[in-house]
Amino acid sequence: MDDFEEDDFMDEDEDDGEGFGHVEDDDDGAEQAELFGDIDSGLTRTVSFEVLPQPEIMKKSRTLIDEVVQVCGVPSDAAAAVLLRHYKWNKEKLIEDYMEEPEKTCTSAGLSTLELERKPPDPKAMHSCLICLEELPAAETFALSCSHRYCKDCWKGYLMVKIQEGARCVFARCPAPKCNFIVHEAAYKALVPADEYTRYNIFLLRSYVDDNMAVKWCPAPGCTMAIRCERQSRKQAVKCKCGFEFCFRCADFDIGDHVPVNCEVLERWLQKASDESENVNWMVANTKRCPMCRSPIEKNGGCMHITCRIASCNHEFCWLCRGPWAEHGQATGGYYQCNKYDASSAKKEDEKATDAKTELETYMFYYHRYESHRNSGKIANEQRATCQKREMHILDKFNVRSQDTKFLMEAVEQLIRNRRVLQYSYVMGYYLDKTKNEKQLFEYLQEELEKHTEYLNKLYEMTLESIPDYQAFMKWKEDVTNYSRVTKKFLDNFLEGVHEGLLADK
């Protein structure tokens, strides 16, 4: 088992807000604040996250481009966009470098100058295109500021291929060998057909998210919105307008929000769950190797006399001491004991196997419960999908108002949150130091949350056939509503208790 300090675990931000305006601690706080979230301090700053629909993504990118044009005096939006993409849309870093060394900044971004096109000295003069080898007037050619001039048809074909290749077309370079000049937006607009330029614009839009450390796409299937987060190391989950909550750092649909465990510990858990080393651990814990051919053998009963079934081996040996069976008999304990065992090296191997088996059993205990709550969470998500249909059945059967059915969605949303936290709580529990008091606090709060979640789940799943009349329905509604609030309180207590328990004595 991997050794972990308590610092590896709780990193929950105390952020209840969903939009800009929430107060969190300054990034310059103590290392403890970085590991565990917000610690009270005199310095605070306003940071949070912002959900961006696609029109807003375009607006944000254009705003940054305009600011660079105005502050740096860049003569065109196309050149400013190239610079911003090179700096991964970090406006502050770009402006800082440009003010200090404008020429170096442009060269590093693929613009030796801010000139977008190098016009031919004589448009009527004939020019030989080095791609198609045709002779044609210079007016029918195009060159970036690098002066590598090719006919417009060759440029068109080259850029259309780049668009076909996908999102990296926004970083396409001049077709001349070893030339690092970037093909800017204005060149695409002038050289490719309108429908291809529309596709290119989509990649431009995506670039603001794909190449921007502060913005990520919502990973929910079918969602086209993005999340901008000022604090890139943010540990509290973000919530998209589509309703999906996820860790901004992981941005993974299958993982979602993994509170209370942090990203690093979760990554180790997922690696452990998929690693072949777990198969090795099982082999060590449940098999022994033939002393002759080293093939693994599993014993499921019988005496200590073992015969290897590998055709080329057939070695006979004692299961306990692994010595040749020819040296065993009544004097060594017969078929079911071995008095040579304590003095043999096999005893040390078996002790190692026992340790591996204990560790494997511990891991399987936590993994089983992790998977159990994961699967229960999937069921809860399916229940949310059918919740509206169930509400309609209630309206038909009991003739109640539509607001009298809203408690069902509130309950299933609470179940989803609880299942998700419980799922990842077993990851955290597996790595917690068993000798510390925090482990006891953690398991107590986890047990309470688990118990009340199961009871709410039982209440929610009560069938309408078992509710005979309006009075029974109102009683059921009251029970589900009250217990949804109760489980929310236990969830809050669990997260708060984990946070305070891990921070104790720090």
- Terminal-to-terminal C-alpha distance of the chain: 25
Which amino acid would we find at residue 318? Answer: C
Residues taking part in catalysis: 303
Rounded Cα gap, residues 453 and 440, in angstroms: 20
Helix, strand and coil in the chain, % to nearest 5: 55, 10, 35
Write down the residue that tokens 């891990």 correspond to: 502
Q: Bridge-partner residues for 173, per DSSP?
A: 182
Whether the Cβ atoms of residue 306 and residue 377 lie closer than 8 Å to each other: no
Rounded Cα gap, residues 33 and 394, in angstroms: 48
User: How many residues make up the chain in this entry?
Assistant: 506
Rounded Cα gap, residues 62 and 96, in angstroms: 20
What is the residue-wise DSSP string for 397-427? HH---GGGGHHHHHHHHHHHHHHHHHHHHHH
Q: Name 322's Cβ contacts closer than 8 Å, sequence gap at least 6.
A: 288, 291, 344, 346, 349
Spell 182-198 as b/e; 16+ CB within 10 A means b.
bbbbbbbeebbeeebbe
CA atoms within 13 A on the CB side of 429: 24
H or E element, residue 64: helix 54-72
User: Tokens at residue 293, please?
Assistant: 């051919």
Find how far residue 387's CA is from the centre of its chain.
28
